[in-house]
């Protein structure tokens, strides 16, 4: 009979690696007859621009659901803020993050950034294999990450949330869970094109479809969601979509929406129709007001291909209003 162990089993007994294992160091001759020249130092501005994306793998049992994308986005930012630490404001006595604005989303006075182009980081949960569970997190910043920020992000190894609430698992069994924890592994840094083969969030396309509910960033104006999309696209300096339509899931093996689907807007998750009300749609900060409490799913068509990630509307920095390239 075979037995399987993982890292958590070793750590439970205080081991950092499997017992009886050892490291071997091999000595070989240089591959070139002359020493390699020292690499030219890249200016900080250029270095930062090369790394606008950090993609993480999420592992755990069970992994978080895509319906909880905004929760995972918030946890990712909190974990990153913890790497930089906090300082006490002498005037107010409150703690403020030491993290740079690209991570904290706040200025030197700890006020939320008012940036129409949203140049601070997006924390986007991703279900890359489309099984209904979050398996990756994409961290994106338009202006890129400096070497110090990359070093801090590289130290993110886990996410956790404390809970004393009743949890129903997928089999319907109820239990109490005081802690949920997931492991993180940095897949790499780069630009969206470097991850396009693995992530539909980071591809180039003319057509984009919602994977999490889009909520208006305030009160809906005349024209409803299409008008809101045009307003936000203009602020983000994106081309105006030529077509905006409700997203209706399709039957397997069919290119046309089913009769039932034509009456419901949503996405298919684990073989079931999931509408906006099935997703967690609010930030954890209770004092934040959000007039649009329902949201919708949309398909956007642009006149020319745009590069992802594409996230618009309320809480778009934390996983709501996320779109992926259409296949």
Q: Are strands 298-307 and 310-311 parallel, antiparallel or unpaired?
A: unpaired
Phi, psi angles (nearest 5°) of residue 111: -95, 140
Lowest mean pLDDT: which of 204-213, 241-250, 263-272, 306-315? 263-272
User: In the prediction, which pLDDT does 262 show?
Assistant: 43
Q: Can you read off the two tokens belonging to residue 16?
A: 């950092």
Whether 323 has a pLDDT exceeding 50, the answer reads yes
Percent share of the chain, pLDDT over 70: 74
User: In the prediction, which pLDDT does 167 show?
Assistant: 46
User: In the prediction, which pLDDT does 198 show?
Assistant: 96
Higher-pLDDT residue of 322, 252: 322
Q: Dump strand ranges (E) for the chain.
A: 53-59, 86-88, 95-97, 122-126, 136-140, 158-162, 166-168, 174-176, 179-190, 204-210, 243-246, 267-269, 272-274, 298-307, 310-311, 322-325
Whether 173 has a pLDDT exceeding 80, the answer reads no
Percent share of the chain, pLDDT over 90: 55
Query: Is the bond preceding residue 62 a cis peptide, omega within 30 degrees?
Result: yes
8 A C-beta contact, residue 50 and residue 144: yes
User: In the prediction, which pLDDT does 315 show?
Assistant: 93
Average pLDDT of the chain? 83
Q: Can you read off the two tokens belonging to residue 312?
A: 């618009």
pLDDT tens digits along 2-31 = 456 667 766 666 666 676 676 666 666 555
How does 283-308 read in b/e, with b if 16+ C-beta sit within 10 Å? Answer: beeeeeeeebeebbbbbbebeeebeb
pLDDT tens digits along 110-138 = 677 776 667 899 999 999 999 999 999 99
Higher-pLDDT residue of 39, 71: 71
Whether 227 has a pLDDT exceeding 90, the answer reads yes
């Amino acid at each position: 009979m075979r037995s399987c162990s993982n890292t958590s089993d070793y750590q439970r007994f205080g081991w950092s690696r499997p017992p009886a294992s050892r490291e071997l160091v091999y000595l070989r001759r240089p591959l070139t007859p002359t020493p390699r020249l020292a690499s030219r130092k890249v200016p900080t501005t250029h270095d930062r621009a090369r790394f606008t994306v950090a993609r993480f793998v999420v592992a755990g049992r069970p992994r978080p659901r895509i319906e909880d994308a905004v929760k995972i986005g918030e946890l990712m930012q909190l974990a990153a803020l913890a790497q930089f630490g906090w300082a006490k404001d002498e005037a107010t006595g409150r703690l403020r993050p030491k993290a740079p604005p690209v991570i904290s989303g706040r200025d030197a006075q700890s006020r939320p950034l008012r940036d129409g182009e949203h140049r601070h980081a997006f924390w986007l949960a991703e279900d890359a294999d489309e099984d209904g569970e979050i398996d990756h997190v994409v961290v994106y910043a338009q202006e890129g990450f400096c070497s110090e920020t990359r070093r801090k992000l590289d130290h993110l190894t886990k996410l956790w949330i404390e809970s004393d609430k009743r949890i129903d698992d997928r089999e319907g069994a109820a239990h109490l869970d005081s802690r949920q924890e997931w492991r993180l592994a940095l897949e790499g840094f780069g630009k969206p094109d470097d991850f396009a083969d693995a992530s539909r969030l980071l591809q180039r396309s003319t057509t984009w479809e919602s994977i999490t509910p889009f909520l208006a960033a305030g009160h809906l104006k005349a024209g409803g969601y299409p008008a809101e999309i045009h307003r936000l696209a203009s602020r983000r300096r994106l081309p105006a979509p030529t077509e905006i339509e409700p997203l209706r899931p399709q039957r397997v093996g069919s290119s046309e929406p089913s009769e039932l689907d034509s009456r419901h807007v949503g996405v298919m998750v684990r073989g079931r129709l999931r509408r906006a009300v099935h997703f967690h749609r609010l930030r954890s900060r209770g004092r934040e007001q959000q007039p649009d409490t329902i949201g919708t799913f949309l398909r956007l068509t642009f006149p020319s291909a745009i590069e992802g990630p594409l996230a618009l509307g309320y809480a778009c920095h934390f996983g709501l209003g996320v779109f992926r390239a259409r296949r």
